[in-house]
Amino acid sequence: NRDWYAEASFNYNRTFGYHNVGALLLYNQSKTYYPGSYTSIPYGYVGLVARATYDYKHRYMIDANMGYNGSENFAEGKRFGFFPSVSAAWRISQESFMEPTSDWLSNLKIRASYGTTGNDMDLSKDPIDKVDAFSYLQKYQLGEKYIFGNNLANTIVAGATPNYALTWATSTTYNGGLDFGFFNNRLSGTFDAFYRKEVDIL
């Protein structure tokens, strides 16, 4: 067996007065040769991640992300998935109209987010198990043995029917949250509510 992995990233962070900006761009790629039972077919994965952040006085915050991933678990035309997300937050406790509460309210922030993630694993199995490798290919296997002349001969039969429709399982989550702190954050807490929908579970 042999494996190789490559990764490159670019980070940027800068402050302009009250404005804080950040950016990330990351690329990674891996290849595994002779994996599992199909020793003649390598397995590959590729990913591109981008992120941009902005906040003003740490009061108004926004964060946008995207992932673009490809997996050789799927047939051509189904291998790549695009997974975006965005979140925003508002620290209300820093507004001037909240000054009368500053002696007892240390932090009050509301936030909301939307995001999608992709999964090329079989969720019905242990999380480390992938979908059966190369399920989109027609595979063959040895069948029953028969006597052919003076020899014992093998037959070759088709394996499982290939599934060309397999693609990324997608999880989409909508989230709303509230962070609060009282009396110099001696008492603090978080409240979250979310709705998650999973599509194309493998």
Residue 69 per-residue DSSP state: E
pLDDT recorded at residue 123: 47
pLDDT of residue 122: 56
Q: Would you state the pLDDT for residue 163?
A: 87
95 to 62, 91, 116, 182: CA distances (angstroms): 17, 8, 32, 16
Per-residue model confidence (pLDDT) at position 161: 87
DSSP string, 34-57: S-TT-TTS-EEEEEEEEEEEEEET
- What is the phi-psi region of residue 118: left when phi exceeds 0, alpha when psi lies from -120 to 50, beta otherwise? beta
Note the pLDDT of residue 129.
Answer: 53
- Which parts of the chain sit beneath pLDDT 70? 35-39, 121-133
Residue 70 CA to residue 49 CA, distance in Å, equals 12
Q: What is the pTM of this model?
A: 0.79
